[in-house]
Amino acid sequence: MDTNNKADNPVYSRSDQSAVNLTEEQWKKVLPKNVYEIARNKGTERPYSSPLEDNYEVGTYYCAVCGNPLFRSDTKFESGCGWPSFYEPVSKGSIIYAADHTHGMDRTEVMCGRCKSHLGHVFNDGPPPTRLRYCINGVVLDFEKAQDAEQKYHAEQGGAEHGQ
């Protein structure tokens, strides 16, 4: 479930883990307006507006801006907040954190560890084992079903084995 055209985004990769450093003008050229507004301007999508809010398929959630793996589906839970919620990122480096004191609140912002795009916020009211709730804007997430990923892997391996 992709939220933008990856062909226009030269930094989008699900395998490259190197840091991404584009100017805001470059981001504006490669990201759709709705993704740019959330990811680069720290916007927030309307609650319950993301189709990923009700997605319960097995797979991985990636940063829609750069392709960095962020969350596994087995860490997703129904929080009732209106945005996709997770209790743990894929790895410690997949997410970075910053204090957020906007709108008269003290919160912790979460950003992609690869491209530093705004994803949402993390709160201390989640389920075990972490007791964390990563509340993430769905527009900045891509989802790939585990079965689709496995099929792509086998197709690539088959091509490699046959010298293709």
119: nearest Cα among 110, 107, 130: 110
84: nearest Cα among 121, 134, 36: 134
- Active-site residue, from 66, 112, 115, 135: 135
Cross-strand bridge partners of residue 60: 72, 144
Count Cα atoms within 13 angstroms, Cβ side, for 160. Answer: 6
Concatenated DSSP letters of 87-111: SS-SSGGGEEEEEE-GGG--EEEEE
Establish whether 112 is a catalytic residue: no
- Active site residue ranges: 135
